[in-house]
Amino acid sequence: MDEQGKQKDGLNLVKMADRDQKTEWWTKSRFGMFIHWGLYAIPAQGEWFMYAQKLPVHEYEKLAQQFNPTAFNAKAWVTLAKEAGMRYIVITAKHHDGFAMFQSKADPFNIMDASPFGRDPMKELAEACQEAGITLCFYYSHVIDWHHPHSLHKEHNNTWDYKLEEKRFSEYWEGKVKPQLRELLTEYGKIGLLWFDTAGGLSEEDSKDIVQYVRSLQPECLMNSRVSHFMGMGDYVSKGDNEIGMSGEDRRPWETPMTLNQSWGYTTRDQVWKTAESLIHKLVNVIGKGGNLLLNVGPTPEGEIPELSAQRLREVGEWTHRNAESIYGTDGSPFPCELQWGGITTRPGRLYLHIHNNKWPENGLRIHGIRNHVLCAYSLADPSKEELRLEQTYDEGLNLHTLSLQMPPQPTDAYVSVIVLELEGEDDFDRSLTQLPYSSFQLDVPLAQNSLVRAADEEAEITALRSVKWTFKLVDPGTYEVFLVSYKRQDQVWADLYPEPVVLETAGQCKAIDPKEDAVDQDSPSCQHPYTAVLSSLGKVRWDAPGTYSLTLASSKLKDPSPRFTEIWHADAVKLRAVRLVRVDEDPSVLKGI
């Protein structure tokens, strides 16, 4: 590397260090409350009601005249967030409908000037949050605004009131967006972060402009990645709605915004509610991968968080408060894999094993990759800290460290039980891709090495394929069925989702297979609405001895590892997410290969 390159690399390291320091409060928090609240609560059909109905501006404005949420109690909302174990609140200061839930001199379409309520709920929330030690954050729709004549998005515009060709985006940008951001960042105290949304069509120049503008007003205020579709603009990665990333997918701090049901704004139509057990499982999955969970509620037109939502949050809170040590201020698992039984979080000198009660390993638990001497193991819920029996072994041939743990006869907490491992010395883990002691072993796409794009059949001019290669340590030899793991969007049929065969290479064999919809994984920890996890059998392979092996997959559905733009989670009809190896009982004399 030349001197100029070294200087540039050093500058990047400094910027990353600054970014990590700035996001530290947020990554330590791990769990936040998202609140979608606005005029759309009145029709109770979700926050996209105006767009879905193509409701004219003058008709939508009538909702403001009806909006009088006299039951709103900022302290009650903040108290509920604390009871749930949430450390910050993100609330919709302005959603896509353009209605400001705060007093705004920049636009009279706001709760103080256009409704009979006569109070500024953002002021009251700011005061309640400060008193309770909760960090207040604002959601702001900076590109989509169906009320403003000059808001311009690449796709979701108000074209029933305004003509696209007559839009002058700069008038909206300079006349409403920036002035309202100034109001939010100068009149409500210290704001933890600005949560931007749906930046489609925003230029790179305007993206940089808005980031710099926010920095000039509150330098420590974080911004999520949705401030722009250009990569790297925000301080952390905001995944798609309800999206949980795969192992190793994000190198930067990240979050999953998730709903309690399947909607964001208040609605009476959606009654598909997640159970407390499901929510805790999802929280464990997210924090076990080093992410934050931002869990949404949609208050009523009267200003109350629905009782069912409040009940769910309190149930989750009973668990988070008991297990706070394993949640807040922790890092994710050191092992690059999807755990079948739950998740792992860490802090220096300790590992926290979050074990789903419905997958309780009565016969004991084995974990590969802990090089430290484990001083002791015990249940976090056990006040006596009674030590569990454990044994550590080392296989020199495989360079494999194994911890065998004798578990309590039954779970020790509700829904998810946490086992603490105390380690001797500085943390020392084998972070290589190693098979865990289960019947199946999943190779997530982000953990693979990417290779160049290649043509599947140059003569036939078949679509170019991108290939990835996994190198992994196989501990238990035998025969495995190979499955492709795809996430299929719920509005899609399988036919034609894979326009060409995928190419699989391993164990000295190469074969092209047309993926079929062979099974659905109902227990996928990462696949969320509106996707379904589909398993496609790619045949069988046999390894006769433990050791290090490789597997290569080629498909046009593999993503560019270095895209210029951020991915829109709901855009793709199908997403290729992993390859899964499932141990099968078979005669050892079976031919090797696929």
Q: In what order do the strands lie in the sheet with 478-489?
A: 440-444, 574-584, 478-489, 531-543, 519-520
Handedness of CA 465, 246, 141, 22 (dihedral sign): negative
Rounded to 5°, angle at Cα 363 from 357 and 365: 70
Is the domain of 215 the same as that of 145?
Answer: yes
Q: Are residues 494 and 387 in the same domain?
A: no
Residue 35 lies in a domain: yes
CATH code for the domain in which residue 396 is found: 2.60.40
582 in Cβ contact with 250 (< 8 Å): no
> Which tens digit of pLDDT belongs to each residue from 275-323?
999 999 999 999 999 999 999 999 999 999 999 999 999 999 999 999 9
DSSP for 450-496? EEEEEES-TTTTPPEEEEEEEEEEE-S-EEEEEEEEEEEETT--STT
| Judgement on whether residues 381 and 497 belong to the same structural domain of the protein | no
pLDDT class of 583 with cuts at 50, 70, 90: very high
What is d(CA 140, CA 227) in angstroms, rounded to the nearest whole number? Answer: 10
Asked whether residue 395 falls in the same domain as residue 500, the answer is no
pLDDT more than 70, % of the chain: 93
pLDDT (average), residues 83-97: 98
Residues 377 and 243 in one domain: no
Q: What is the pLDDT of residues 137-171, one digit of tens each?
A: 999 999 999 999 999 999 999 999 999 999 999 99
The CATH number of residue 567's host domain is 2.60.120
Shared domain check, 519 and 397: no
Domain count, the chain: 3
Residue 405 has pLDDT above 90, yes or no: yes
- Is-contact 158 146, C-beta < 8 A? yes
Least confident of 33-47, 198-212, 564-578: 564-578
Within-domain flag for 327: no
CA dihedral (387, 393, 398, 399) in degrees, to 10, reads: 80
Q: What is the mean pLDDT of residues 323-333?
A: 97
* pLDDT exceeds cutoff 50 at 594: no
Q: How far apart are CA 356 and CA 323, in angstroms?
A: 14
At residue 6, the pLDDT reads: 39
* 128 and 174 housed in the same domain: yes
Q: Name, in order, each residue with C-beta under 8 angstroms of 48's C-beta and a sequence gap of 6 or more.
A: 40, 96
Cβ neighbours for 588, distance < 8 A, ≥ 6 positions apart: 479
For residues 12-32, average pLDDT: 76
- What is the identity of the amino acid at 344? I
Residues pairing with 443 in the sheet: 579
How large a percentage of the chain has pLDDT more than 90? 83
Q: What is the pLDDT averaged over residues 49-64?
A: 98
pLDDT at position 451 is 64
pLDDT grade for 509, boundaries at 50, 70 and 90:
confident
CB 81 within 8 A of CB 31: no
Q: Is the pLDDT of residue 59 over 70?
A: yes
CATH of the domain at 54: 3.20.20.80
The pLDDT assigned to 251 comes to: 86
Domain hosting residue 164, numbered range: 11-322
Task: Say whether both 391 and 471 belong to one domain.
Answer: no
Average pLDDT in the chain: 92
Domain shared by 373 and 312, yes or no: no
Q: In angstroms, rounded to a whole number, what is the distance separating the alpha carbons of residues 208 and 114?
A: 33
Shared-domain flag, residues 63 and 147: yes
pLDDT band at 523 (very low <50, low <70, confident <90, very high): confident
Averaged pLDDT for residues 530-545:
95
Residue 436 is predicted with a pLDDT of 87
CB 207 within 8 A of CB 199: yes
422-481 pLDDT, tens digit per residue, is 999 999 999 999 998 877 899 999 999 876 555 544 444 445 689 999 999 999 999 999
